[in-house]
Amino acid sequence: MPLKSSMIGVSAVGLMTAALLVVDRHFTHSQIVEHLAFGYMLPIAAVAMLFGSAAGTVATAVSALAAGFFFFPPKFSFWIDDPIHLAELFWLAVLGYVASRAAGGLLRS
């Protein structure tokens, strides 16, 4: 797995994090804020389609860490208080991995 494609994946996740933080800040009283972490599916799928499933898997791992740190309470900590949020983070990682494998398969065909 080339380092360049992994770094592009990490950068894509960083850009998505910045965009999601803007949404989080401006829509604090909206229902959309509760599920912002699933916005990471877009860069995961894009990276996997462009660079393969290995880069998509790296993007998935970085997305899960970013979501846990920035969007689940207590914010700016890797500790997650609510078991529902922990389950949401788990499913983000599972769906991201499956999406990266599927999208990476599109690259090979």
45-89 pLDDT, tens digit per residue, is 999 989 988 999 999 999 999 999 998 888 899 999 889 999 999
Range of the domain at 57: 3-108
Token readout for 79 is: 């500790």
Confidence bin at 7 (pLDDT 50/70/90): very high
**Distances from the Cα of 40 to the Cα of 7, 108, 109, angstroms:** 16, 23, 25
pLDDT digits (tens, 9 = 90+) for 14-37: 999 999 999 988 887 666 667 888
* H/E stretch holding 46: helix 41-51
CB 91 within 8 Å of CB 36? no
Number of domains composing the chain? 1
